[in-house]
Structure 1
Amino acid sequence: MMTRSHDEKIKRTHAEWLDAAGIHDDGLRSAFELCRRLHAHYGRTYYLATLFLPQSKRPFVNSLYGFARYADEIVDNGDPSTMADEFTQWCARALADLRRGHSEDPVCRALLHTMRVWDIPLEHVEAFLSSMLMDLTITEYRTFEDLREYMYGSAAVIGLQMVPILEPLDPSAFERAAALGEAFQLTNFLRDIAEDLRRGRVYLPMEDLDAFGVTRESMTAGVVDQRFRDLLKFEIDRTRRLYAFARGGIDLLAPSSRACIATAFTLYGGILDEIERADYRILDRRVAVSVAGRLKVAIPAYRSARRFRRAGIPASAGGERS
């Protein structure tokens, strides 16, 4: 149980992040804090990786994840009888607010500030919300190219939004970041097959299921046979090829950003290892990288990030802040 003194220390730490990021308005600070809590609660792996960024960058990453997670939660866990209308209306309000440059919605307000500071294009947010709207009506994808159309908005643009904050040293960092976003999402699709089935969705391409003789019904029944294992081996191999391409983008980022992305890269990739270690028996459980495994990655990353800070390598904030 957290003591009051420990709780106060955490609050001071988060306040230091906002100070370092130049975020001083009380309402805006509250908006960013809400996004940070969303990030910490729903994205533990990526939140851990974000801690290896300079303090001045962390709130901005929190806002990107907080906005995305808030939207995702409405779609995945809203009241089925009202969720479609609720989310469609929320998307319309969010885009209207972002276009006019003002919002009373805290997650939109934080995102808008981040977009201004780091010059993040509105079309990335439009693409993201378009993919989220697809989840209201589309429950499966015929081909991998069909799925990639969805993933562009739901995953690739998240990587594209992140790149300005990470400070690219070469324009090709954007292409690699988009690939990493896709790799992360494909990893999530594989880990969450059972959870998605309960929501009535299948994110593995139907052409792949057909090729290996796997059906939606067999997966729902929890059948883990050689056909299912071969399907997952195929999907893992495809995902690892994306990771391999994305890996080259890490060195194209500012040195102060590399430990963050390298940590996320390793931990998410580790989920694929855990699927294999479970002998592909993932229809009745949710695999995860162990705490020991996380620490094994996190401790060297922390040391690397601390070396850059101690060396006084600048981490610019990307623009003038209001």
Structure 2
Amino acid sequence: MPTVALAATDGMLHFELALAHEVFGADGVVSPWYDLAICGSAPVTLGRFHLVPDHGLDHLARADTVIVPGWTDVDVDPPEDLVDAVRAAHEAGARVASLCTGAFVLAAAGLLDGRRATTHWAHTEELAARYPRVEVDPDVLYVDNGSVLTSAGKAAAMDLCLHLVRLDHGSAVANTLARRLVVPPHRAGGQAQFVSTPVPTTDDHPLTALLPWITRRLDRPLTVVDLARQANMSTRTLGRHFHASTGTTPLRWLLTQRIRRAQEMLETTDDSVDVIAAATGMGTAATLRRHFNRTVGVPPDTYRRTFRA
């Protein structure tokens, strides 16, 4: 069973810590799931909340994945014992992920030197100024460097946690968990941090009816003109609403949904790549392989073997 260690010390943000606990400590989504441990050097005070860790910070080095929640006061250096424990965990082979301003802990440990990273948009300038060897990207939800991952704040922390679940257990499981948590199943890490409306939230939103309409027709050759006609608006207006609501264009959003559907079919069916290409609107296996490899990083057949194993 994969092991996850959640670092907990005074001065951390309780929202990000609770969020990670909800994702990696969830029961009944898959079996096996995760063996979660909360690690800290002493009882922790998080605002009005008090928490007693399961293990000391040295336990971080025994985990497969280490999660470092946000840091409340970025003007104050994080505790040396936390920084040392995070560095030791990475040196021991752990995958280390920070949520929100937890990136300051990773940067202090030297894990972000020479790497692209992000944090909450309000603190990206401070992170870049204090740690000039870090390539700070203020415009993305999260950055995956393989063994080191960083996210922006609040909702983006959930995006990164679901991304980790997707890497470990596949898209079908991550989507099941997202439905249980009532959050969007996937927002790509490269999506902009700040959009006026991340997802449609009201019945009268221009995209509320359109997005489900699209996902029910992923097997069809849809164009921007088709989407605009269905939404009863011009293509320019449609593009403006999509950018405001999703941070991307209609066709890029559509391609992402096609790739996610292909992932689920590769994980849960024995359908051939040709059948999946047709079912996801890709047309041919060659087209699916090209887009899938570029987006996911591996060919469809390799992806299927990985998750079937």
TM-score normalised by L of structure 2: 0.29
Q: Could you say which structure has the higher strand fraction?
A: 2
- Higher helix share goes to which structure? 1
TM-score by length of 1: 0.28
